[in-house]
Amino acid sequence: MIRHFVHLRFARDTSEADRQALYNDLAGLSGHIDGILDFQHRTNISVEAPLVRGFDDMFWFDFADINVRNAYLEDSVHQAIGARIVAKLDGGADGVFVCDIDL
């Protein structure tokens, strides 16, 4: 199983409603791409602010295997949601950090 973490640094003017709409759209990918096992999103509650660097939001997907992860990366619906997310981030693509781990 592959866990795909995405940490986000939203622009200050991004509303909670905008964030939730993006997370809802991401959650919808579970019914769109076979092999997505789970989707979660959370707020970073670390007190180590200098180390957090503004990456206060995160989400992750659990994929059955690397092939599902690769299908997700290539999926046009995912890419469209990703573009909308990047448009809401502080610094655009500099406002995202991605990490995949094998579980």
Q: Supply the pLDDT for residue 58.
A: 98
Q: Which helix (H) or strand (E) holds 71?
A: helix 66-74
Distance from first CA to last CA of the chain, Å, rounded? Answer: 5
pLDDT for res 44: 96
Beta bridge partners of 9: none
pLDDT tens digit at each of 103 positions of the chain? 999 999 999 999 999 999 999 999 999 999 999 999 999 999 999 999 999 999 999 999 999 999 999 999 999 999 999 999 999 999 999 999 999 999 9
Return the closest-CA partner of residue 96 out of 83, 42, 48. Answer: 83
User: What fold characterizes domain 2-102?
Assistant: Alpha-Beta Plaits (3.30.70)
